[in-house]
Structure 1
Amino acid sequence: MSLGSERDNTDPCFPNPCGAHAKCRASGGHPVCSCIYYGNPETSCFKGECVETHDCSDDRVCKDFYCTDPCPGTCGRGAQCIVRRHVPVCTCPAGHTGDPFEQCRRLGPEELCDPSPCGRNSKCEVALHLAICSCLPHFFGNPVQGCRAECETDSACAQTQECRLYKCVNPCTDACGEKAECRVEHHRAICSCPKGSERDNTDPCFPDACGAHAKCRASGGHPVCTCIYYGNPETSCFKGECVETHDCSDDRVCNDFYCTDPCPGTCGTGAQCIVRRHVPACTCPAGHTGDPFEGCRRLGPEELCDPSPCGRNSKCEVAFHLAICSCLPHFFGNPVQGCRAECETDSACAQTQECRLHKCVNPCTDACGEKAECRVEHHRAICSCPKDFLGDPRIRCYAECTVHEECAYHQACINFRCTDPCVGACGMNAECRVENHKPICSCPKGFTG
């Protein structure tokens, strides 16, 4: 005889009165059947992945108890779809325009460079239906990020050079007259006639008829004096950097013949200023809000996470007046760029595991009933009762008996089953009868042994 626990005959869920895969619970002494996902609990239940959309990852929605991609059929022709927080967002891809919910079309050649995708001090041209960025003459660098000049003022050049058209060059080039000598002092060309040579008295600009730093040119045998930048050419000229704003780099404007920063005094308190194509743009810095032309204020704690700066499958919390991003439970990765799940479907797990709440787990956990055995096949738990046990393996397995007294008087409890104790108990030609669950062997009348 084997020993074990006695079954509870007061349990209304034993044996299970519900349908396949249904859950049974006792209520007021009566069984209550229910499905976790969907189906008829009195006949059969079916397993799903979700009940509500928040049971799914951020790029899925719950439909008919399964997590599905909401994008198919949502956007127009040629549009791309990205799901953010369960909501499909339709946009036209780069190089295209139109209504993404209707149709996106490829940009025409005249549209690819308007507005320009290139950085400052660069130009945009169309070739092979692509916007090609290149640096402006005398500038170099990355035309997408922005090109830079070799120089913007003489101070960026060696003492023997001057800044001309954003390049450091020899100031003596084309500065002096025929057969004149040239030397450079402080970025400026100094012209003089060689010792012992005769000067050309037919040149009305010799000796210099103009003021300091002025340019002299002959016109009708008379000197004509001009200033390149500003001043009185008859007395003295002053060197500047520009005449018009386009003479300056993209982040400067021409003010009184000098390239200056247009930002000071333009934006409000706490705002930041960025100059694009000579135009100052005022914005509030990260973590601030307000009118950047009046004043920016720091965001309140309740505003730092609304809208959330975090990636998908992450949460935003405020600490030390900072928005802190962290991955949701069962997700991992970079919460700013986006967290990912260990799995989204069973196929991402080993054959002996299933995907539950975005983690690969043993499907046998809590799958089978009391005293039942469990094995895994193709990500699914297969429940069965041990040998010689009875019952519904999804609810409870039990022995038919644990002691002889649980069987009829003419049977005995052998391996948890009520069986005839005479089987195999007596010798050849012997007779067997059962008394008090025990086999009694005897020889038939006229036989001995």
Structure 2
Amino acid sequence: MMDNYALPFWVYLAALTVFVCGAMKRILAFHLSVGPTLMAWLGATLLVEQLWVFCMPVLLLLALLGLACYLYSACRTGPPQTALSGQGKTVFITGCDSGFGKEAAKRLDSLGFEVFATVLELTGDGARELQRSCSPRLTLLQVDITQPQQVQQALLDTKAKLGLRGLWGLVNNAGVCVNFGDAELSLMSNFRGCMEVNFFGTLSVTKSFLPLLRQAKGRIITISSPAGDQPFPCLAAYGASKAALNLLTDTLRHELEPWGVQVSTILPSSYRTGRTSNHTYWDQQYKQLLQGLPPALLEEYGEDYVIETKDLFQSFASQANPDVTPVIDTIVQALLAAQPQARYYAGPGVGLMYFIHSYFPFSISNRLLQKLFVKKKLMPQALRKQSGLELHSLHNNNNNEEKSEKL
């Protein structure tokens, strides 16, 4: 019987195996605890079913299953990697006034790195904390990454301390989210502000420090956001800037591979950093938005609609995890792993979110974003009026029909 199916069977089996292994490889990249096991069992079940249909000999069937289990185990665990030492290595980190940047600077300093940490204010609370808690190896630099002259001065200061050495790591952490609300309501200045810091500023720093990174065959670690890959409601300006940043980072990874420079992107879940937990911050954002909106547009959406959006963002930010340890651990891993990954998902839920986004129907992933992120209850005012008029019209039509029947 096997002779009748010889060529078609082996072609089919090879294609099926390639598909299952490819899917497993994609799933493993999301770092899910149940995903790899589930996918492995589904793939094995499909293979076994097809093999039995073709009446495969039992010994050959067992051998193929054993090979599949071995390959799965090898893909899951991978070769053992020895972490590199931070002693004597240099790293340049942007945005160290607070949040990820400040905590990363402290951790890397404790691991023996020579850290160059940029802050917006040398006399600010974050800068003073770094000076108190870190070793003399840490150098504070006042840098606004949107100002090319400040970036170039930081490069000169870094070169002066490095001497003939190259730069092992660049951590692009500085970023802003200066908007909330629908894209139509977001001011053009907010779109430009996000692009200026998150994309152009990061690009300016990266291009400036690339010669030092190429010299040391170092690493570029960029802190991005899932909002750059998935359409989070009311985050159009921020998400667009991060989408541009993600594409830039992916392109650099290909271009810098021949130079020996490793490029990684870190995609964190929601964390409470910076001023986002401050009520005053959201009130200022709200007032600035109202001042910049044309009266006719504000009338279309309604001030209560804007207030609800502000309150939802404020609530979401206040409930975010204040412990940024998973992100800092990931930065360290990307800097010291023998073979760093192209992408890291830092924090609970990010891998699952990307898994659903990649493999589930669009309607499901879209609904997940709407339910988990901004749970709006109000519709824009113009739509509410329209719905009210339609209901009123429908009610009048029903009354007229009842009168006609009575007549």
Same fold by TM-score greater than 0.5: no
* Range into which the TM-score falls when normalised by the shorter chain: under 0.3
Which structure features the higher share of helix residues?
2
Which structure features the higher share of strand residues?
1
TM-score between both structures, scaled by the size of structure 2: 0.20
Higher RCO (C-alpha under 8 Å, 6+ residues apart): 2
TM-score between both structures, scaled by the size of structure 1: 0.18
